[in-house]
Chain A
C-alpha cells in the first residue's frame, strides 16, 4: 500500500494558518525601569528645555549584556516562572528517585522531597486564576473555522478549565478553608480532566501531522519525486512502514513547533496515566517526562515562535 493512501486527503490551507487571527493578546512589557515616557506625567514635561530632566537616561558607552535582561523578561511572565518551578519540581522528583537506592543520601532525599512539595504547593497557589484563561481560550477556539481543530482545542481548553476548578478546590482544602472535601475524589477528577485535555491536544497534533504529511506527499507526487540524484527527497511511492516514518520525520523536522508540542503532550501524559492506574510507571519516569515537558515549555515561553499556533 502506498504511503500517500494512508493519509487523509483534505484540500485547503493549513489549520495552523487558517486561524492566525485568533492568537492570544501579547503580554504587556514588564513595568518598571527605563526612561521617562514621552507624553506621560513626570518632571520632563514640566521643566525648562535647557536643563536635562531627571528621567533622562545617559546611554552607556559599551555594549550592554542582555542575558540578565532576558531572564528578567522571562520571569516577568507568569507562565515563564511557573515553567521554571515545574522544572524544579520534576527535577526533585527524578533526583530523589535516583538517589533512593543510595543509603547515605537519606537527608538529601528528605530535602529534595520538601523542595518538591514546596514547589507543588506554590504552583497550585499561582494557578488560582487560570480557569479564566482556559474559559477565554474556549471562547476563542470555538470560533475557529476548521471543524476538527475547533472540536479538539475547545474540548481541550474546557477540560483544562475543569482541571483548574478541581485544582482550586484541592488548594482550598489544603489551606484548611473547607474541611469537608473528599480529597481523593477531587484529585481523581482533576487528573481525569487533565488527562482528557492532553488527549485532545494529542488528537490535534495527530491531525496537524497528518495534514502536513498529506501536503508533503501531494507536493512530491506532483513534482515526481523519485529522482535518484536528489538525496534529500523522500520517495512516497514505495510500500511499507519505512517511507511513512521517513515522511513523518521529514514533516516534524520542518515544523519544530509541532514536534515540540507533540513531545510535550506525550511527556505530560505519563503523570495522569500513572495516577489513574491506566499505565503504572515509577516516579523516575514521571520526573524525567515532567522535566522534559517543562524544558519544552520554557523554550516556548522564551522563544514564542516555537509555540504551536492554533
Chain B
C-alpha cells in the first residue's frame, strides 16, 4: 500500500498505468472481436480506450517543458554521438507533445474546426523520429559495450580461432555471426537497463509505424506492443536502477 502511494505520487507513473490500461483495452478489444463477442460489450471497451487516451492527452499537457529540460541537460553530455541522439530525441519528443496538446484541444472541443488527422500524423511522425533516435543511441551503446567485451576476450576466444581456420567463407561468416550474437546476448544480459530500453523502444516503434501506414499491423499487435512497453516503463519507475542513464 505504501509503495503504491509512493509510486502513484509521480505523475509519470500514473500516466504509465493508464497507458497500460489503454493498450490492454486495444488488445482485449481485438481478441474479443476475433472471438465474436457482443457488439455492445465491444463498444464499451472501445469507449474506455478512447476515454483513457483523451485523459492521458490532458495529463501530458506540461510534458513539452519536461522534454525541453531533458534536451537542455543532454546538450552537456561529453560523448558526441550520445549528445546528438539524446538531444534530438528529446526535441522530437517536445514537438510530439506540442502536437499532442493541439490534438487534445481539438478532441475536447476547444478548437472545433481542426484537421485532427493532419495533427495526429504530425505528432506520430515526431514520435517516430524520437524513437529512431532512441534506438540509434541504444545501438551505439551496444556497439561500444560489444567492442569492450570483444577487446577483453579476443586472446582467449576459441570461437575466433576456429573462425580463422574455417575454409568455407559461409562457414566463417556463420561463426562470426554466432560470436556476435553471443556477445550481444552477453552484453544485454549484463546490462538490464540497456536491454529494457531496447525492448521498450522496439515495442513502441510499431505504434507510429502502424499509424503512419509505414508498416501495417493489426490492433492486437499494436496493443500487445503498447502494453509491453508500458509495463517496462512502469518497471523502470518502480526500480529506478533499470532506467538507462543519462
- A residues near B (Cβ < 8 Å) are 24-25, 27-28, 30-37, 40-43, 46-47, 52-60, 68-69, 71-72, 75-81, 84-85, 111, 114-115, 118-119, 121-122, 125-126, 129-130, 132-133, 135-136, 139, 175-177
Contact = CB atoms under 8 A, between A and B. Distances in A.
B82 A81 contact: no
16 contacts: A32-B70, A40-B193, A42-B245, A54-B246, A71-B62, A76-B12, A78-B9, A84-B62, A114-B110, A122-B54, A122-B55, A126-B55, A129-B14, A132-B1, A176-B48, A177-B48
Contacts of B43: 176
A42 B11 contact: no
Contacts of A176: 43-44, 47-48
A42 B47 contact: no
Contacts of B110: 111, 114-115, 118
Given A43-B144, A122-B55, A37 B69 contact: no
Given A58-B77, A132-B4, 14 more contacts: A32-B243, A33-B74, A36-B246, A41-B193, A43-B144, A54-B77, A54-B81, A55-B82, A60-B76, A71-B62, A72-B69, A122-B55, A126-B14, A129-B8
B108 A115 contact: yes
Determine chain B's interface SS by DSSP, over half rule: helix
Nearest to A26: B6
Given A40-B245, A69-B69, A79 B79 contact: no
Interface size bucket, B side?
Answer: 35 or more
A126 B16 CA distance: 11
B239 to A, nearest CB: 10
What 6 pairs across the A-B complex have the smallest Cβ distances?
Answer: A54-B79, A122-B58, A54-B82, A125-B55, A118-B108, A56-B78
Interface string B136-161: 00000100110010000000000000
B173 interface: no
B224 interface: no
A19 to B, nearest CB: 17
A41 B192 contact: yes
Interface of B: 1-2, 4-6, 8-14, 17-18, 43-44, 47-48, 51-52, 54-55, 58-59, 62-63, 65-66, 68-70, 72-74, 76-79, 81-82, 108-110, 141, 144-145, 148, 190-194, 236-237, 240-241, 243-246
B10 A35 contact: no
Contacts of B191: 41-42
Contacts of B66: 32, 72, 75-76
Tell which of A53, A78, A79, A115 has the most Cβ of chain B within 10 Å.
Answer: A78
Contacts of B77: 54-58
A40 to B, nearest CB: 5
A37 B245 contact: yes
Nearest to B15: A126
Tell which of B17, B58, B68, B191 has the most Cβ of chain A within 10 Å.
Answer: B58
Contact of A78 (B10, B141, B145): B10
B68 to A, nearest CB: 7
A99 to B, nearest CB: 16
Nearest to B245: A36
A22 to B, nearest CB: 13
B47 A53 contact: no
A47 B48 CA distance: 48
A127 B191 CA distance: 36
